[in-house]
């Protein structure tokens, strides 16, 4: 389909010459200021008009695919060394890590992966609508593993508030404010000067015992509704940027056993885990200042869309675990 602006650029012969078919009154052709330019000038003008019109359409809210192609300033480029892959029977799961949220846990996670600790292990506890947990060291020969990789890690539930945080919502149920740090969902408290990772779908964190400083090798991935009551009580290391469908296909454990699978099979197995090398393609995470993200959250707050008819309670807060920033290999 072409707009009326584009259609006005069609031309035709008018008796003795060419002119823009732009306006007529009583069958009299209106004078055109472009006529002295001749046919070449006319063609250039039409190309300019078409380009402007197409550009405006491409950046409209009706074309979200085009909106994804934003400036690199609106994407966080995840360093290759902060992305890891876990292979499963159902496909690869790629995780982006953020050392700013839990530096000691991220360091341990990568060290465990590089040592081969998770290879041939299992997602042995999978609770439908909750988490998929892996990394049990019950099947490892601890004498073959460096004690440093098995030692408990001090909790990193909260970190000092970064100046690079983008606050999005001030009416969250579980935090004074929520927002993003390099596209990773966080809660923040400006008065306390603290930030922490949120338990959104796809969040990756370390598991522990009841004592807070007992995380060591276990990790879990949120695969269901965000269990936000865990916020500020677990050490969050990153988020899944590719492979959530694979995680959703994992076998589930029985609720009477806390989701622990009694007899694991290859369908639950981690084939291999690896830290990406420098030559691996980088993943990019959308920043909340990106126009496509702003458009989505604005609709969520104001219900400014023909679909919505009851707007009594608008504007309303948005749950940033639902309005997540997007991840891609091709921003």
d(CA 285, CA 274): 20
User: Given this model, what pLDDT does residue 208 score?
Assistant: 96
Looking at the DSSP bridge assignments, the partners of residue 327 are 285
Tokens in use for 164?
Answer: 């690079």
Residue pointed to by tokens 């009851």: 310
Q: What are phi and psi of 275, to 5 degrees?
A: -90, 135
Percent of the chain with pLDDT over 70: 78
Mean pLDDT of the residues in the chain: 83
pLDDT category at 33 given cuts 50, 70, 90 is very low
User: Given this model, what pLDDT does residue 178 score?
Assistant: 98
User: Given this model, what pLDDT does residue 231 score?
Assistant: 98
pLDDT by residue (tens digit) across 169-197? 999 999 999 999 999 999 999 999 999 99
Mean pLDDT in residue range 211-239? 96
What does DSSP assign to residue 153? Answer: B
DSSP string for 61-108: TT-HHHHTS--GGGEEE--GGGEEEEEETTEEEEEEE-TTT-HHHHHH
d(CA 100, CA 159): 8
User: Given this model, what pLDDT does residue 126 score?
Assistant: 97
pLDDT category at 153 given cuts 50, 70, 90 is very high
E strands present in the chain: 11-14, 17-20, 24-25, 28-29, 75-77, 83-88, 91-97, 125-126, 131-134, 159-160, 166-169, 177-181, 184-189, 194-197, 203-206, 219-222, 235-242, 270-275, 284-286, 327-328
pLDDT by residue (tens digit) across 294-312? 999 999 999 999 999 999 9
Select the more confidently predicted residue: 158 or 31.
Answer: 158
User: Given this model, what pLDDT does residue 62 score?
Assistant: 34
d(CA 303, CA 313): 10
pLDDT at 132 over 60: yes
In terms of Cα–Cα distance, which of 2, 124, 17, 87 is closest to 53?
Answer: 2
Kindly tell me the sign of the dihedral angle through the C-alpha atoms of 39, 45, 47, 49.
negative
Hey, is 305 helix, strand or coil?
coil
Q: What are phi and psi of 112, to 5 degrees?
A: -65, -40
pLDDT by residue (tens digit) across 70-123? 446 799 999 999 999 999 999 999 999 999 999 999 999 999 999 999 999 999
User: Given this model, what pLDDT does residue 37 score?
Assistant: 39
Tokens in use for 128?
Answer: 């439908």
Tokens in use for 109?
Answer: 């996670």
pLDDT at 28 over 90: no
User: Given this model, what pLDDT does residue 286 score?
Assistant: 98
**For residues 102 and 156, is the Cβ–Cβ distance under 8 A?**
yes
d(CA 224, CA 128): 7
pLDDT at 8 over 90: no
pLDDT at 213 over 70: yes
Tokens in use for 24?
Answer: 């007529």
Mean pLDDT in residue range 236-260? 97
pLDDT at 67 over 60: no
Percent of the chain with pLDDT over 90: 74
| Burial degree of 105 (CB within 10 A; 0-12, 13-18, 19+) | buried
Mean pLDDT in residue range 272-281? 96
Domains of the chain: 4-58 (no CATH), 77-286 (2.40.100.10)
User: Given this model, what pLDDT does residue 174 score?
Assistant: 96
Mean pLDDT in residue range 22-33? 32
């Amino acid at each position: 389909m072409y707009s009326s602006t584009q259609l006005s650029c069609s031309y035709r012969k008018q008796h003795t010459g060419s002119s823009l078919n732009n306006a007529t009154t009583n069958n009299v052709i209106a004078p055109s200021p472009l006529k002295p330019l001749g046919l070449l000038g006319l063609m250039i003008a039409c190309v300019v008009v078409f380009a402007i019109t197409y550009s405006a359409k491409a950046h409209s809210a009706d074309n979200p695919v085009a909106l994804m192609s934003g400036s690199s300033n609106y994407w966080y480029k995840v360093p290759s060394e902060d992305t890891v892959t876990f292979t499963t029977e159902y496909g690869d799961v790629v995780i982006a890590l953020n050392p700013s949220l839990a530096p000691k846990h991220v360091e341990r996670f990568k060290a465990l992966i590089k040592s081969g600790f998770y290879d041939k292990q299992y997602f042995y506890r999978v609770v439908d609508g909750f988490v998929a947990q892996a990394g049990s060291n019950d099947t490892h020969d601890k004498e073959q593993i460096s004690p440093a990789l098995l030692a408990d890690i001090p909790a990193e539930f909260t970190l000092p508030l970064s100046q690079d945080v983008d606050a999005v919502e001030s009416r969250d149920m579980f935090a004074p404010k929520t927002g993003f740090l390099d596209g990773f969902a966080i809660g923040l408290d400006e008065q306390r000067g603290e930030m922490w990772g949120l338990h959104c779908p796809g969040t990756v964190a370390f598991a522990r015992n009841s004592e807070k400083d007992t995380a060591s090798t276990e990790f879990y991935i949120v695969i269901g509704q965000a269990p936000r009551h865990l916020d500020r009580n677990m050490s969050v290391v990153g988020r899944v940027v590719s492979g959530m469908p694979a995680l959703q296909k994992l076998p589930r454990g029985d609720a009477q056993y806390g989701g622990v699978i009694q007899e694991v099979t290859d369908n639950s197995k981690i084939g291999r885990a690896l830290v990406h090398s420098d030559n691996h393609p980088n993943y990019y995470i959308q920043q909340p200042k990106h126009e496509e993200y702003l458009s989505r959250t604005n609709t969520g707050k104001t219900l400014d869309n023909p679909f919505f008819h009851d707007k009594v309670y608008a504007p309303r807060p948005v749950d940033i675990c639902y309005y997540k920033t997007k991840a891609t290999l091709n921003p």
